[in-house]
Structure 1
Amino acid sequence: MKLLKRSLLVLSSLLVASSSAAAADRPINTRLFGTRAIIACDPVEKSCGMAVITFPSGASGLVPYGRPDVAVASMSVPSVDDANAIIARIDKGEAPQAAIDNVLAVDPEGSIRQFAAVKLHPDGTVTVGQRTGSEANPFTCAVKGSTFVVQANNMTVGSICDAMVQGFQQTRGSLPQRMLASLKAGARVGGDKNGERSGVIRVWNNTSASAPYTHVLAEATVHGSMTALRDLEVQLIRHQAGIAPPYAADLVVLDRDTARFMKRSLRRLGYYDGPMDGSWSAGAEQALADFTWNNIFHDKPTVVENGVRKIDGVLVRFLANTDLDVLLPASAE
């Protein structure tokens, strides 16, 4: 009986060892990494960044690399070594395309990678690069523009890159908002074959009024969500409204409906007690200033352009997509 138990124990150990060895030797499931992204720099805003949406959680730690003057997206089967090597070559003066080509040429797995890079130069020009390996996930696409790259792999349709380009180019707003629009435009025609459950939008800037605090101008991260794109939008607006200074491109007309909405929000938080009509008074402006003082890094006053009063549209959307109970009311010291 003891011999039988010992034999079964040895057999069990051998099976476990065999299973572990087989798992260790098992190739990566490349179909897991279907991803689409836009990587871009804005010479006016002096920002670089990207917007990414994919299936597996962890996009924020797998795909984006960068800083205010350069951004690199590592996709298909990501590689941290390749991403850092591309940035190092760009820092030494290589163009983004040459840097990508040279790094992937010596990578034994370069054929399964997809990389894009954008570089913002001190003179305000932008150079870009992109390469998709010959064995990367099927249904790939890539479009290089003057200041951006759109690329995707393992998509339901091959036209998704063109749709994302149109969304980016046809949208008015700051770089983070235009990149969000690019993702949303792509979603209208297709997406990841596995579904889209994870994503990240990250923009770097070291010249804005936020630079003394952080070079991350805008940030949104979502993992394991059935509404990943919607969640990305909400998180981006919350972060950008709270940290970034207002951009002229994000201003919207303060029409009567928007004025009423802002007054309702400010009244609920105790900052405003005036008339609830569609006008905008000095009292309403003071209430807005008091609210931003307690809750936001930067003042975001209304402005008058050609006789038309405008307000930061990101701030308006922030109040529309935030639980007001998490904000400091007027009574807060």
Structure 2
Amino acid sequence: MKTFKRSLLAASCLMFASTSAIAAAPTGKANPRLMGTRAIVACDAVEKSCGVASISFPAGISGLVPYGRPDVAVASMFYPSVDDAEAIIARTDVGDTAQAAIDYVFTVDPYADYRQLAAVKLNPDGTITVGQQTGAESASQRCAVKGANFVVQANNQTTASICAAMATGFQQAQGSLPQRLLASLKAGAAVGHDNNGERSGVIRVWSSENEAVFYTKVLADAVVHTSRTALKDLEVEMNRYQAGVAAPYASDLIPLDAETAKVVKTALYKAGFYADKSSTGVMDGTWDAAAEQALEAFNWNTLFFLKPTVVVNGQRKIDGPLVNYLRNVDPKAFTSSEL
């Protein structure tokens, strides 16, 4: 075992040595009324990525709930703990399964009754382990569902059925891991929500396979604070990041049908990349060389990775996150000046 890993494991084992073993509620100055959230943690062996998606009431959950990297992701909830998250990651580094790592942390954390922890570990051989545990003092309407490559957990919700809905939404979703994590949050919103409301959220995915990892291992990063339309805003922000920074995934390609062509051409026209011959700005559903040229110009001026349309089995397709990006973008944001 490398010296660094030995040191990290030792630190994780001793992290509570100076903490009182009396398991009183760790309130301090924290506001217990706001504790509670819902989240999904997942890894994808093909994409070589792991991530967390969570939505809740208070601002700041992006720095409280998700921890991870391309081979492991952790959601720390109810009374979140960075020490717990780091200890789980350290123990999986030296061979523990995700469940064994969480179980160990629960035995040494004096505040374990106030934790809700989930972890998913992607091993070098492509196998995946999952783990989850909820403390006895966690908020009511708590739930958890473990799948082959994901964990859903929640507490302080309007219904405990929200976990099952999120799990089903993830399993039935198509596309890259960020898109499926978003689908899980949306499926949960169809049956319930945080008792305090849902005003803030985060989707963060790390990857070691996407072409973008030469520059960053963050495949998707979306954060929303204090918004009445938090879930909608989270979707907009994630598509902006994924379209703008990540290399495209084949799984995210969608048919370039008439409706999609209209959306793309309209956005390109408003941003000044597409010249409509009729000068009316009313777009039809066709796609020709002029439209492709306009898309190419947009790519070169705004995107980190080029995303042209492609023909797959005789059908022309386009990157789905890019379409959603264009659907919601302010066209003036593409200009290089305020003029």
TM-score, length-scaled by structure 2:
0.87
Question: Residue 288 of structure 1 aligns with which residue?
Answer: 295
Q: Provide the rounded CA distance (Å) in 1 between the counterparts of 2:331 and 2:245.
A: 17
Question: Residue 226 of structure 1 aligns with which residue?
Answer: 228
Question: Residue 92 of structure 2 aligns with which residue?
Answer: 90
Q: Provide the rounded CA distance (Å) in 2 between the counterparts of 1:278 and 1:26.
A: 59
Question: Residue 18 of structure 1 aligns with which residue?
Answer: none
Q: Provide the rounded CA distance (Å) in 2 between the counterparts of 1:46 and 1:222.
A: 26
Counterpart amino acid of residue 178 in structure 1: R
CA shift, 1:282, in A, is 2.1
SS of the residue 2:232 aligns to: helix
Q: Give the percent of matched residue pairs that are identical in Structure 1 and Structure 2.
A: 63
Contact 1:31–1:137 (Cα < 8 Å) also in 2: no
Q: How does 1:216-295 map to 2 (within 5 A)?
A: 216-273=218-275, 276-295=283-302
After superposition, the C-alpha distances for 1:231-264 in whole angstroms (9 at most, x for unaligned) are: 1111111111111111111111111222122222
Contact 2:264–2:327 (Cα < 8 Å) also in 1: no
Aligned length: 308
Q: Provide the rounded CA distance (Å) in 2 between the counterparts of 1:200 and 1:237.
A: 13
Question: Residue 162 of structure 2 aligns with which residue?
Answer: 160
CA shift, 1:268, in A, is 2.5
Q: Provide the rounded CA distance (Å) in 2 between the counterparts of 1:30 and 1:327.
A: 43
Counterpart amino acid of residue 296 in structure 1: L
Q: Which structure has the greater CA radius of gyration?
A: 1
Question: Residue 313 of structure 2 aligns with which residue?
Answer: 306
Question: Residue 7 of structure 1 aligns with which residue?
Answer: none
Quick one: which of 189, 197, 201 aligns to 2:191?
A: 189
Contact 1:53–1:198 (Cα < 8 Å) also in 2: yes
Seen in structure 2, the aligned counterparts of structure 1 residues 89 and 299 have a Cα distance that, compared at 3 Å, is same
Root mean square deviation of aligned Cα: 1.8
CA shift, 1:55, in A, is 1.3
TM-score, length-scaled by structure 1:
0.88
Q: Provide the rounded CA distance (Å) in 1 between the counterparts of 2:322 and 2:111.
A: 45
Quick one: which of 179, 199, 204 aligns to 1:177?
A: 179
Contact 1:31–1:154 (Cα < 8 Å) also in 2: no
SS of the residue 2:212 aligns to: coil
Seen in structure 2, the aligned counterparts of structure 1 residues 26 and 270 have a Cα distance that, compared at 3 Å, is closer
Is 1:323 matched up with 2:325? no
SS of the residue 1:191 aligns to: coil
Q: Provide the rounded CA distance (Å) in 2 between the counterparts of 1:136 and 1:260.
A: 49
Counterpart amino acid of residue 42 in structure 1: D
Q: Provide the rounded CA distance (Å) in 2 between the counterparts of 1:25 and 1:311.
A: 50
Q: Provide the rounded CA distance (Å) in 1 between the counterparts of 2:275 and 2:173.
A: 36
SS of the residue 1:288 aligns to: helix
Q: Provide the rounded CA distance (Å) in 2 between the counterparts of 1:299 and 1:328.
A: 18
